Amino acid sequence: MTARDPGPGPLPSPAPTPGPTSGPLPALALAPGLRVVRRGRSQLQVGLDPDRRVVLPRTPGVQDVLRRLAERRPLAPGPTTERVLERLRERDCLRPAASPAVAEVALLADLPDGGRLLDDLVAGSASLRVTAWPHEADVVVVVAAGELDRAVLDPLVRASRPHLVLRLLDGGAVLGPFVDPGRTACLRCVDAHRTLADPDHPAVTDRYVEAGTRPRPDAADDLVDRPLLALVSAWAVRDVVAHAAGREPSSWSTERWWHPGSTEPEVRPWSRHPACGCAWSATWPEELRDDVPADTHRSGTMEA
């Protein structure tokens, strides 16, 4: 039997802040999905999840604050407002009222449908916009049906362009790594780590890339699991949204492998490899990056 929620009690006094607090309050709103409902006769509840809900006294002052948040109207400064906002912030129930900044996303998709699903998912996000110009994008999503030719990613690394890799491989899917050049592992870092345990890895990977450019003798479709494609595509967009909002994506320097028939991904975090050149150009002045030789990134990796 679950213990009864004892209720909020009186609102705590706000933490003291130095200097005057009579200036304008930031424009805030309740986080998406939240509702305010009555709880008993004397309380109000924001949200339903027990780990996130906020229970507040049902007083005129509290009701006014919640109504202003729900309607995205300016807040009236005062002790009650500060205390309500403090409780809501503790449970991540507030968001800026202004529309989020829009990040531009370029899609490089080697798929039969040209990545239409990803296009639709990005278009459905209020904080993302598709651009056809990778060199102007805030993030580039690179999708490959099969193993990916690393040379596709080299220009992005040399330009210090954040990018997320999604591969549909061996009947499953691999999301990641999300690469922020100079800060995270890139795909060549992953290769360098694997080469330590398997010296044949680079040569076999190159052959696998080449083999994937030809249909199989039985003409079987490589994209056998469409629901999995939808799942990992949506996951990729959520990671891009997280990056655009200043949060760490789940695939940050990490691969998530969905094997055929699995319900949960296998998570493989990676560190930057000291023999990889992915960080070299990140330390160069901006005006010199366009002059980086085309093979600079490749020359820093371990290849058989």
Using only the alpha carbons of the chain, give its radius of gyration: 25
- 297 vs 199: which has the higher pLDDT: 199
Domains and CATH numbers, the chain: 29-96 (no CATH), 103-299 (3.40.50.720)
pLDDT(45) > 70 = yes
Does pTM surpass 0.85? no
User: Under DSSP, is residue 176 helix (H, G, I), strand (E, B) or coil?
Assistant: strand
Burial of 22 (0-12, 13-18, 19+ CB in 10 A): exposed
Phi/psi for 79 (5° steps) reads -60, -40
Minimal CA–CA distance to 115: which of 99, 97, 135, 130? Answer: 130
pLDDT digits (tens, 9 = 90+) for 68-108: 999 999 999 999 999 999 999 999 999 888 777 789 999 99
The first and second tokens of residue 157, run together, are 């690394």
pLDDT-based confidence at residue 279 (cuts at 50, 70, 90) = low
Q: Is the Cβ–Cβ distance between 284 and 276 less than 8 Å?
A: no
Mean pLDDT score, 216-244: 87
